[in-house]
Amino acid sequence: MSANRELTPQAQEKADILVAGAGSTGLAAALAFAKSDLRIKLIGRVPPPLPGRTVALFEASIRFLDALGALERVTAIGCPIEAIRMIDDTDQLLPVPPLTLSAREIDLPALGVNISNDDLVSILHDLVTTHPNIDFVDADIVDYEFGVSNAVALLSDHRRIEADFLIAADGRNSRARAVAGIDLKEWTYPQIALTAMVRHEFAHANMSTEYHTRSGPFTLVPLPARPNAPHRSSLVWLMNTEDARRRLAAPREELEFEIEDFAKSEFGVMRLESDIGQFRMGGMQVSQHGKGRLALVGETCHVFPPIGAQGLNLSLRDVADLEDCLASVDLKNEAELARALARYDRHRHADIGFRTSGVDVLNRSLIIPYLPVDLFRGASFLAVSALSPLRRAIIREGILPHFALPRLMRDSHQTKHA
Ligand SMILES: Cc1cc2nc3c(=O)[nH]c(=O)nc-3n(C[C@H](O)[C@H](O)[C@H](O)COP(=O)(O)OP(=O)(O)OC[C@H]3O[C@@H](n4cnc5c(N)ncnc54)[C@H](O)[C@@H]3O)c2cc1C
């Protein structure tokens, strides 16, 4: 493992666990592991603001945020998502009726909550910086050294921090993953996602609406009212690169009109409230999720297009699962740690593989017009619409995956706070 030979290291600081990266996943990881009275060092910079970006977090994540002590603040400023409506807008041969997946069908008040990315980071950051077991180090990591019994991070300010274990949450270009020599598979989609917050004329009724178009999903996710704006949503709009370029250069009113048009005027007149964000669509999966003294969480080990709001929900499951797998492990015991990491790797391969394939198949089935695939997609929608036991099973699996649910996601906040 490489080290920067130019460095003149200062005294080595120590921790039980070192978390690299202070995005939502890293902040959540520090809080989850600090619950077990371990000494945590979280190293990273607070991420820059993301204009117009929100995250929809579902029941398993809600339970996890509750366990971390963040739920009250998240629900106070987020908007509940009570249902998800999917509308096929591909003009395919077989007309497909809209499909609605509602929380009421599984006796929950909401499927989840939609919150601005920046607000979520700010809530988690506040909890991290006031937690007695977490030392937040505002610095970049320039390199790592992995030994048999420890991991060392070398910081931009020349400090060395040593720990029994390293949790890498340093994003899709993870330096920790590269130094550990973990292979990955990457691919691209011919799409860009434009994101923004919009105000509209008519109410969203706490319902998220996905229009499945030939360029990918166009999704409006509900946002809470503001004093001068009673009806607001966040938009995630997938399109080809040429359309993205044209729309980014278009006058604002023209774009607002196009957004209204894509939403079939169901929400009336649209007004852009935020700047427009743009994200190139691609995918990534790693060959292993843990190695020696390292575990990968969040976008260090999975990236896919924002379809079905899976990304951060999956990242929080990585963290909760890792916490579960390491719960009774002596981090100094190599054999115990290796067994726990093998278990974590098995769980993550299954969960991440399943979501990555699901999102990939849905996205490709939209953008590649091919009659048999259209018919299959249409027939699946019809079956789910018609069969309520199947629909309920899909809703449950989407918001609270039953397979190996980690302990920090098992307690229902509804019964706990009843
Ligand atoms: C348009 C869009 C919409 C989305 N909507 C949803 C949604 O509705 N629901 C959902 O669940 N997911 C959604 N996602 C996915 C979700 O936003 C991401 O999965 C999530 O933000 C990733 O968080 P992360 O902490 O893993 O990575 P990042 O946010 O990339 O954080 C990584 C952090 O590591 C830091 N870092 C990197 N290198 C170093 C270093 N050397 N030293 C120190 N720090 C370092 C970075 O500065 C950064 O702060 C969406 C994604 C997109 C693109």
Furthest-apart CA pair in the chain: how many Å? Answer: 69
Does ligand 1 come within 6 angstroms of the Cβ of 170? yes
Question: Percent of the chain having pLDDT more than 70?
Answer: 96
Does ligand 1 come within 6 angstroms of the Cβ of 21? yes
pLDDT in tens, 237-269: 999 999 999 999 999 999 999 999 999 999 999
Cα distances from 37 to residues 32, 163, 170, 229, 284, in angstroms, run 10, 15, 23, 44, 34
235 domain residue, yes or no? no
Give the domain range for residue 344: 12-186+281-416
51 domain residue, yes or no? yes
CA 171 to ligand 1 centroid distance, Å: 6
pLDDT in tens, 339-359: 999 999 999 999 999 989 888
Does ligand 1 come within 6 angstroms of the Cβ of 236? yes
CA 118 to ligand 1 centroid distance, Å: 11
pLDDT in tens, 103-135: 999 999 999 999 999 999 999 999 999 999 999
Taking the CB of residue 181, how many other CB atoms lie within 10 A of it? Answer: 9
Q: What is the arithmetic mean of pLDDT over 272-298?
A: 96
* Six token digits for residue 298: 């969040």
CA 298 to ligand 1 centroid distance, Å: 7
- Which range among 200-214, 255-269, 304-318 shows the weakest confidence by mean pLDDT? 304-318
CA distance 71 to 62: 7
Q: What is the arithmetic mean of pLDDT over 370-395?
A: 86
Categorize the per-residue pLDDT at 384 as very low, low, confident or very high, splitting at 50, 70 and 90. confident
Measured from the CA of 297, which atom of ligand 1 is nearest?
A: 26
pLDDT of residue 11: 61
Residue 48 contacts residue 23 (beta carbons within 8 Å): no
Residue 278 contacts residue 149 (beta carbons within 8 Å): no
Task: Give SS3 for 380.
Answer: helix
240 domain residue, yes or no? no
Does ligand 1 come within 6 angstroms of the Cβ of 49? no
Residue 144 contacts residue 178 (beta carbons within 8 Å): no
* CATH code, domain carrying 391: 3.50.50.60
- Concatenating the DSSP letter of every residue in 231-250 gives -EEEEEEEE-HHHHHHHHHS
CA 299 to ligand 1 centroid distance, Å: 6
271 domain residue, yes or no? no
236 domain residue, yes or no? no
β-pairing, 79-81 vs 83-88, is: unpaired
Query: Between 50 and 154, where is the model more confident?
Result: 154
pLDDT of residue 415: 59
Does ligand 1 come within 6 angstroms of the Cβ of 195? yes
Nearest CA to ligand 1 atom 30: 171
Q: Where do we find the tokens 């007004």?
A: 271
* pLDDT exceeds 60 at position 9: no
CA distance 316 to 311: 9
CA 386 to ligand 1 centroid distance, Å: 37
CA distance 340 to 329: 7
Categorize the per-residue pLDDT at 333 as very low, low, confident or very high, splitting at 50, 70 and 90. very high
- Concatenating the DSSP letter of every residue in 26-76 gives HHHHHHHHHTTT--EEEE--PPPP-TT-EEEEEHHHHHHHHHHT-HHHHHH
Residue 309 contacts residue 210 (beta carbons within 8 Å): no
Number of structural domains in the chain: 1
Question: Containing H/E element for 388?
Answer: helix 388-399
- Give alpha helix (H) positions in 145-188: 175-180
Does ligand 1 come within 6 angstroms of the Cβ of 105? no
pLDDT in tens, 38-89: 999 999 998 898 878 999 999 999 999 999 999 999 999 999 999 999 999 8
237 domain residue, yes or no? no
Residue 119 contacts residue 66 (beta carbons within 8 Å): no
Measured from the CA of 299, which atom of ligand 1 is nearest?
A: 26
306 domain residue, yes or no? yes
* pLDDT exceeds 70 at position 416: no
Nearest CA to ligand 1 atom 17: 312
Measured from the CA of 175, which atom of ligand 1 is nearest?
A: 41
Does ligand 1 come within 6 angstroms of the Cβ of 281? no
83 domain residue, yes or no? yes
Does ligand 1 come within 6 angstroms of the Cβ of 286? no
Q: What is the arithmetic mean of pLDDT over 372-394?
A: 86
* Six token digits for residue 99: 């499909």
CA distance 141 to 161: 10
Arithmetic mean of pLDDT over the chain:
92
CA distance 75 to 32: 19
Helix pair angle (117-129, 24-34), 10° resolution: 30
- Which range among 172-176, 187-191, 325-329, 413-417 shows the weakest confidence by mean pLDDT? 413-417
CA distance 260 to 339: 53
Give this prediction's pTM. 0.93
